[in-house]
Amino acid sequence: MDVVPHYSRYALSFTSGTLLANEAAIVAPIYLRERDWKVTRALAQTENLLGARAARSNTRTLGALVPRLQLLSDHELEIVSDGTSTERGHLMWTAACRKYAFIGEFAEEVLRERFLTLVGTVSYKDYDSFYRAKAMWHDELDGVTGSSYQKLRQVLFKMAVEAGLLTKQGYIEPALLSSPVAACLDQRTPSDIRFFPTRVA
């Protein structure tokens, strides 16, 4: 009897924020000082450090940001805090890929693969094909409404643009990972460099 593979459900809650790199630069240093995520979130919330006009917006942004930051190592958080905007973008893309398997698989199977095969672009049509293929194994994707489908696609592409991996026209930008970032990503098995359009690793 064939064993049907078990696939864990995709979390698809990433539409409440895009890459959040600028926000990460504000929150990461607080955590590195406090070493407590609950305290960090409370400080960012009560002092409105993200400059949100409404408390609810602040809560929503922190709710999207903190779980991603929690997936970065202390060294990665130090780079997010003190590194260049490019390094911060690369690490926040990594955090999104770690948090959301759907984004991570898209990054590896579509973005990186098309770069390595010299295609040079990623389009909505490529995303649609990827989504349909994943929906064969993930019932939760079939339940997504039309408007939510468009929002998921729009946000994922916007994140890739903000991370400097795609142009707004859909051309792939090769990732020039800094040595500190590449070293952090390479500590994972398999290496998280797989999330990037680069020939390294």
Tell me how far apart the alpha carbons of residues 92 and 105 are, in angstroms, rounded to a whole number. Answer: 16
Residue the block writes with tokens 């759907």:
102
Q: Between the CA of residue 65 and those of 12, 19, 28, what are the distances in Å? A: 14, 9, 10
What φ, ψ does residue 121 adopt, rounded to 5°? -140, 160
Q: Are 105 and 99 spatial neighbours (Cβ–Cβ below 8 Å)?
A: no
91-143 tens-digit pLDDT: 999 999 999 999 999 999 999 999 999 999 999 999 999 999 999 999 999 99
The answer to whether 195 touches 104, Cβ cutoff 8 Å, is yes
Mean pLDDT value of segment 135-161 = 96
pLDDT at 2: 47
- Tell me the HSE value of 55 on the side-chain side, using a 13 A CA sphere: 4
- Classified as helix, coil or strand, 72 is coil
